[in-house]
Structure 1
Amino acid sequence: MLEDYQKASGDQFRFTVSIGRLHREDLACVLSMAEINEGSFFIVGPNPAVLANQRLLRRVGVSARRIHQERPTM
């Protein structure tokens, strides 16, 4: 479904799926400076992962107001 969204957006929508922790080096390979400065970021996962990825995005320069999160709970 995410690939369909990406195609429909003309590649304006991009996504990264990670199993395990992302590191700064991972983001450096995936994100351009324009994306860091202008993109919107959506983090989905358990609370510890969401918080860790939110901190990581903030450390690379993403504005807090452009980070959105979803923490599935039961």
Structure 2
Amino acid sequence: MSDEYAHGRRDGLRLALAILAAEEAKWAALLGESASWRTNATREVRHKTLQVAQTRVQTVLNRLSPKDDTASNAELS
């Protein structure tokens, strides 16, 4: 795998992680707000699903990140 391809792949995962974090924050604000228990239950499930997805994407990103600290610091700056 070329360095540019791997870098682009990690950038895509970081973008996905940011999107999931924004969605999770949106649903976290709505938890328990509805008078309907079904709506609240659905929101809780959706919120938990987003948290699990964030964890999985973070795990993949950690596996793909270079082990060398200087390379990862240069990539993030």
- TM-score by length of structure 2 reads 0.30
- Whose strand fraction is larger, Structure 1's or Structure 2's? 1
Higher helix share: 2
Which has the higher relative contact order, 1 or 2, with Cα contacts under 8 A spaced 6 or more apart? Answer: 2
Higher-Rg structure is 2
